Chains A and B, each alone.
Chain A
Amino acid sequence: MNNLIKGEKHDWEMVIGLEIHAQVKSNSKLFSSSSTKFGSLPNSQVSLVDAAMPGMLPVINKYCVEQAVKTGVGLNAKINNYSVFDRKNYFYADLPQGYQISQYKYPIVGEGKVTIDFKDGTSKDIRIVRLHLEQDAGKSLHDQNPSKTYVDLNRSGVALMEIVSEPDIRTPDEAGMYISKIRSILMYLDTCDGNMQEGSLRADVNISVRKPGEEYGTRCEIKNLNSIKFIKQAINYEAKRQIEILESGGSIEQNTMLFNTSTGKTRPMRNKEEAHDYRYFPDPDLLPLEISEEEIGKIKSSIPELPDELKNKFIDNYKLSNYDASVLTADKQTSDYFNQSINSDPELKNHAKIVVNWITSELFSLLNKNNIELKNSPVSPENLGQLIKLISTNEISGKIAKDVLEDMFSSGKTAKQIVDDKGLQQVTDQGEIEEVIDEVIKDNPKMVEQYLGGKDKLLGFFVGQAMKKTKGKANPKILNDILKNKLNKKN
């Protein structure tokens, strides 16, 4: 695979690392009992702790700690028995404390890794540096009033897990696959709802460019991207910007950038003079966080099957390709659907590839067209299983099955009902098909002559005619065989 981008003078390689902020799926905030519900009235979920009133003390949410540990296990990472909360100091209107409680030197989770799977069957590991717990800030609205910024503190204090990767990513696509994979793991673990639109999952992207094989270049950080599309766009734009500067003899200034989603461009956020000096120090309001091996063990035993384990199981049990299995397991809804479908009939195990195809192409395209999520599919996994059984036992043809699926989708009937009601059973009876073919041959003497004269393509015409007469129900293989046989006998 060629990951290089062409410059004016030579090729360049991107070096990318991601900091993902995943909101812990909890009822209450990290250090206060305020609700975390999304979309409530402004400032309606703010306790005195979240508003940083004098004398208020933080008390940590046990559940959030457990979710961070759980996520660490899911990222194949080392869980630290001892971690410390630090204050990260800076001034901003939506940060009432004047500092964010975060973890600096001693994070709760250490080094780990996740694997991304490419279409060509290869995979790549992306190393994780750490995962730490921290508070979210409030939300600032800059565009409501010409002279004011509006601040809503509902999000202030909500628990985030910051997941930091090594700069192991080399292309915008890999960045997209990496965040998809993290999202998928979080959703299987149920530690984050993965909703990027609502900001439950967002990323800062660190990117630099270099000549292949040379040292890392100076990097820039693009802040707060909340869709995979924007992540890829921002990386592409920023890499091009950096290459242009370097090729015209300039040098890259380390900077924090903002991505404008309407123009697709990045621009520097703060100038160097204001370069941040966060003056981290251990938060004197909080004791160090200690987790025993026993507690870790308990959390480990509660962890459900994760996408990679499930992927390997699908490959072993159903002889699926690595890529098919990774598509199925990327989303828990999809793997659950596949599981239920394939287990609805013992026969289906031998037709796993057909089941995958019907879910990921036929059913998905119907769902997309109608803007319905898989979990609300009008076709149940069992009913899809039944349809596939009808195909695999040659009761209906694949072509007719597509119509049947559409009918199932709109009417909610089962495949059998529709096939019976409409009499769609495939005709596999040799005699019946022979009869039809004889008729077709008799009705088209000129065509037969031309075919025998060497116009092989006319075979399709005869097939079409015969199919028409059987209303598409003739088994195509039997039909083809008999037709060829009969035509050739005429010779």
Chain B
Amino acid sequence: MKIDKNTINKIARLSRIKLDDKESEDYIKDLNLILDWVEQLNEVNTENVEPLSNISSSILPKREDVSKDANSSEEILENAPDKLEGFFAVPKVVE
């Protein structure tokens, strides 16, 4: 797989990151280097080997279904740039 200008533009748009031409060029170079490096793994024969999704042998920790009263609104809204009557107020999203 090769990263080109189109791919980098698409990734940038999906990530809501604005890139200028110079930055795009740099990212294309960087990402291709990373992909080349990972590509080395293809040299290993992985036939009949289950994909590994986690290297830890521990199991998923679970919690009991107990709710803690948070009464969180003040704390949660503290850093909001704009709020009203307990809501976050954000630029209008039109659907």
Residues of A within 8 A of B (CB): 26-28, 33-37, 41-47, 51, 59-65, 84, 89, 91-93, 140-142, 144-153, 258, 269, 277, 279, 282, 286-290
**Is the CB–CB distance between B67 and A36 below 8 Å?**
yes
Minimum CB–CB distance for B56 against chain A, Å? 7
**Is the CB–CB distance between A27 and B66 below 8 Å?**
yes
Minimum CB–CB distance for A245 against chain B, Å? 23
With CB as the reference atom, state the residue of chain B lying closest to A29: B67
**Is the CB–CB distance between A46 and B73 below 8 Å?**
yes
B84 at the interface (CB under 8 A from A): yes
**Is the CB–CB distance between A63 and B95 below 8 Å?**
no
**Is the CB–CB distance between B93 and A92 below 8 Å?**
yes
**Is the CB–CB distance between B72 and A149 below 8 Å?**
no
Given A92-B93, A150-B88: A45 and B62 within 8 A (CB)? no
B40 at the interface (CB under 8 A from A): no
**Is the CB–CB distance between A149 and B90 below 8 Å?**
yes
B46 at the interface (CB under 8 A from A): no
How large, as a class, is the contact surface on chain B?
Answer: 35 or more
In the complex, A149→B63 CA distance in Å? 34
**Is the CB–CB distance between B93 and A142 below 8 Å?**
yes
Chain A residues near B60 (CB-CB < 8 A): 60, 286-290
Partner of B14, one of A27, A36, A89, A282: A89
**Is the CB–CB distance between A42 and B14 below 8 Å?**
no
Partner of B53, one of A42, A147, A277, A288: A288
Given A43-B86, A279-B14: A59 and B63 within 8 A (CB)? yes
B39 at the interface (CB under 8 A from A): no
**Is the CB–CB distance between B62 and A65 below 8 Å?**
yes
B89 at the interface (CB under 8 A from A): yes
Minimum CB–CB distance for A91 against chain B, Å? 6
In the complex, A175→B56 CA distance in Å? 44
Interface centre among B63, B64, B67, B68 (most CB of A within 10 A): B67
Residues of B within 8 A of A (CB): 10, 14, 16, 53-54, 56, 58-73, 76-77, 82, 84-95
Chain A residues near B92 (CB-CB < 8 A): 142, 145-149
> What is the predominant secondary structure among interface residues of chain B facing chain A?
loop
Given A148-B90, A287-B59: A46 and B95 within 8 A (CB)? no
**Is the CB–CB distance between B95 and A142 below 8 Å?**
yes
**Is the CB–CB distance between A44 and B70 below 8 Å?**
yes
With CB as the reference atom, state the residue of chain B lying closest to A43: B73
Minimum CB–CB distance for A286 against chain B, Å? 7
Chain A residues near B62 (CB-CB < 8 A): 59-62, 65
With CB as the reference atom, state the residue of chain A lying closest to B64: A62
**Is the CB–CB distance between A59 and B61 below 8 Å?**
yes
Chain A residues near B58 (CB-CB < 8 A): 287
Contacts between chains A and B (CB distance < 8 A), count: 134
Given A45-B72, A46-B76, A93-B93: A33 and B66 within 8 A (CB)? yes
Chain A residues near B69 (CB-CB < 8 A): 35
Chain A residues near B89 (CB-CB < 8 A): 145, 148-151
With CB as the reference atom, state the residue of chain A lying closest to B77: A43
**Is the CB–CB distance between B59 and A290 below 8 Å?**
yes
Given A27-B65, A33-B67, A59-B63: A43 and B87 within 8 A (CB)? yes
Given A41-B73, A93-B90, A269-B95: A287 and B85 within 8 A (CB)? no
Chain B residues near A65 (CB-CB < 8 A): 62
Q: A34-B70, A42-B85, A93-B88 are in contact. List 19 more A-B contacts (CB 8 A).
A: A33-B63, A34-B67, A34-B72, A35-B70, A44-B70, A44-B86, A47-B68, A47-B70, A51-B76, A60-B60, A60-B61, A65-B62, A147-B92, A148-B90, A153-B88, A269-B95, A287-B58, A288-B54, A288-B60
In the complex, A258→B54 CA distance in Å? 39
Interface centre among B16, B56, B72 (most CB of A within 10 A): B72
In the complex, A92→B66 CA distance in Å? 29
In the complex, A150→B72 CA distance in Å? 17
Partner of B87, one of A36, A45, A152: A152
In the complex, A148→B54 CA distance in Å? 42
Given A63-B64, A91-B16: A151 and B88 within 8 A (CB)? yes
Chain B residues near A64 (CB-CB < 8 A): 65
28 residue pairs A–B, Cβ–Cβ below 8 Å: A33-B67, A35-B69, A36-B67, A41-B86, A43-B86, A44-B72, A45-B70, A46-B72, A60-B61, A60-B62, A61-B64, A61-B65, A84-B53, A89-B14, A93-B93, A142-B92, A145-B84, A147-B92, A148-B90, A148-B91, A149-B89, A149-B90, A150-B85, A151-B89, A151-B90, A153-B88, A279-B14, A290-B60
**Is the CB–CB distance between A60 and B72 below 8 Å?**
no
Chain B residues near A152 (CB-CB < 8 A): 86-88
In the complex, A36→B10 CA distance in Å? 37
**Is the CB–CB distance between B63 and A140 below 8 Å?**
no
